[in-house]
């Protein structure tokens, strides 16, 4: 099953986020007309929604299903599984303790299948691993089970060996971590999130009442922008990142927004799709 690339295709990313955030809360099935109307509130036009749906269907994420005369889509079993895994990464942000150690992924791919080297490197990077050396990738130990599951699901486990590791000597670990991960790039990413959504959080703190439709717009945008970040940052120990690390503040902004807006956003989606709700 091809995984959507939210960076390149914003409508597609928003639809993945929509299904992850709301569709599972309203029975799992959403009418195309409702999806077009709801995403229209985020200035996504109908043609873009339909094109993104088509790509997600071809990629194995969505399954077409009619409820009566109404066309709609539900998540495929594989998509349900991947979103459940995503929930654990996105909503249970975990910061590593250096004492917990590391997980090493060491891979070797035969020349005849060298195209899988790129797939392995890109998958490990998207899991949050840093590149320690050629064919050697490293991450905090708490990512071991997630990496094992993802590599097995993609059929890449035969090329990889996973090891538990502890840092023993030679070199300053903080400097080494900075060479394995692009900490400056991650910090800029987090800083951009704070600049974009801290004012949104402040505006909701001043409101006397919650407008579910407005909550839906802000919640979906904030969650869609956030959901890729925990995959790029594996939750490095605070002792090993810069002292003014923006990731801490960005996480606080996201989780406070999520706590404030999730319930009214789901209410808006449920009220907007009530007419056609299929069986859960």
Determine contact, residues 25/39, Cβ cutoff 8 Å: no
Domain 102-165 = CATH 3.40.50: no
Q: How far separated are the first and last CA of the chain, in Å rounded?
A: 23
| Domain spans, the chain | 10-84, 102-165, 179-275
* Angle formed by the axes of helices 246-273 and 32-40, nearest 10°: 130
Residue 42 or 109, more confident: 42
CA distance 19 to 94: 24
Per-residue pLDDT at 111 exceeds 80: no
Q: How confident is the model at residue 92 (pLDDT cuts 50, 70, 90)?
A: confident
Domain at 10-84: CATH code = 1.10.10.10
Cβ atoms within 10 Å, residue 152: 12
Classified as helix, coil or strand, 228 is: coil
State how beta strands 62-67 and 160-165 pair.
unpaired
Mind listing the pLDDT tens digit for each residue in 39-67?
999 999 999 999 999 999 999 999 999 88
Supply the pLDDT for residue 8: 36
**What average pLDDT does range 93-112 have in this prediction?**
85
Supply the pLDDT for residue 90: 87
Mind listing the pLDDT tens digit for each residue in 132-191?
988 899 999 999 988 888 888 888 888 888 999 998 878 888 999 999 999 999 999 999
Supply the pLDDT for residue 275: 53
Tokens, residue 261: 């807006």
Supply the pLDDT for residue 83: 85
The answer to whether 10-84 and 102-165 have equal CATH topology is no
Supply the pLDDT for residue 27: 81
Determine contact, residues 65/74, Cβ cutoff 8 Å: yes
- For residue 132, which phi and psi values (nearest 5 degrees)? -85, -30
CA distance 65 to 187: 42
Per-residue pLDDT at 82 exceeds 90: no
């Amino acid at each position: 099953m091809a995984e959507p690339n939210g960076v390149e295709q914003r409508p597609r990313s928003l639809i993945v986020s929509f299904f992850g955030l709301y569709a599972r809360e309203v029975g799992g099935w959403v009418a195309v007309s409702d999806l077009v109307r709801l995403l229209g509130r985020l200035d996504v036009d109908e043609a873009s929604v339909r094109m993104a749906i088509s790509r997600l269907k071809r990629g194995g994420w969505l399954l077409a299903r009619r409820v009566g005369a109404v066309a709609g889509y539900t998540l495929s079993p594989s998509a349900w599984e991947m979103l459940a895994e995503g929930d654990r990464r996105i909503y249970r942000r975990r910061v590593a303790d250096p004492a917990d150690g590391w997980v090493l992924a060491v891979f070797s791919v035969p020349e005849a299948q060298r195209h899988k080297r790129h797939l392995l490197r890109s998958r490990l990077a998207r899991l949050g691993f840093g590149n320690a050396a050629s064919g050697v990738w490293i991450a905090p130990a708490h990512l071991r089970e997630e990496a094992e599951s993802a590599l097995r699901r993609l059929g890449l486990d035969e090329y990889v060996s996973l090891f538990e590791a502890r840092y023993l000597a030679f070199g300053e670990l903080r400097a080494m971590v900075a060479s394995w991960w692009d900490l400056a790039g991650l910090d800029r990413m987090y800083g951009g999130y704070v600049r974009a959504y801290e004012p949104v959080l402040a505006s909701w703190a001043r409101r006397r009442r919650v407008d579910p439709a407005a909550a839906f717009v802000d919640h979906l945008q904030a969650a869609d922008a956030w959901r890729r970040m925990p995959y790029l940052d594996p939750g490095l120990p605070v002792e090993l990142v810069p002292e003014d690390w923006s990731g801490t503040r960005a996480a606080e902004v996201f989780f406070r927004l999520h706590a404030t807006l999730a319930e009214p956003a789901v209410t808006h989606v449920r009220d907007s799709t009530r007419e056609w709700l299929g069986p859960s």
